[in-house]
């Protein structure tokens, strides 16, 4: 069993930066593909970024490519999402997710992940 706890969300001005963290409990974390999703009010939860167990493979939604960077530190059981050049449309609750069934293939849909955090609110003001 793995528990995921996100942190780092807050109110920021457009053009600013934030780094979200996701702390995982459980030693098996290091073998999981990890991802970040987000959900804005009235919208479906959408994939933002994903990373393989080793960090050698990363994937991004087109809307964040070039602005966001996902990374992980397996020694610290933590996944990060560095968000730069933030836009008001990035406002959402951001969720960390883990896929215990894959080490390499990064899934792009909610059903690919079986562990979820509680979410952290990111608000970007214009």
Whole-number percent of the chain with pLDDT over 90: 91
pLDDT of amino acid 42: 95
Could you write out the DSSP letters of every residue in the chain? ---EEEE---EEETT--EEEEEEE-SGGGGGSEEEEEEE-TTS--EEEEEE-TTSS-EEE-TTTTTTEEEEEETTTTEEEEEE-S--GGG-EEEEEEEETT-SS----SGGG--EE---EEEEEE-
Residue numbers in the chain where pLDDT is lower than 70: none
């Amino acid at each position: 069993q793995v528990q995921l706890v996100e942190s780092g969300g807050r109110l920021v001005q457009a053009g600013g930066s934030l780094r979200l963290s996701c702390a995982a409990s459980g030693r098996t974390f290091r073998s999981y593909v990890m991802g970040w999703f987000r959900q804005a009010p009235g919208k479906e939860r959408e994939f933002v970024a994903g990373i393989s167990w080793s960090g050698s493979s990363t994937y991004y939604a087109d809307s964040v490519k070039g602005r966001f960077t996902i990374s992980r530190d397996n020694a610290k059981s933590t996944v990060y999402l560095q968000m730069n050049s933030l836009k008001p449309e990035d406002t959402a609750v951001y969720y960390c997710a883990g896929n215990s069934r894959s080490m390499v293939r990064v899934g792009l849909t909610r059903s690919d992940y079986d562990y979820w955090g509680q979410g952290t609110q990111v608000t970007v003001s214009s």
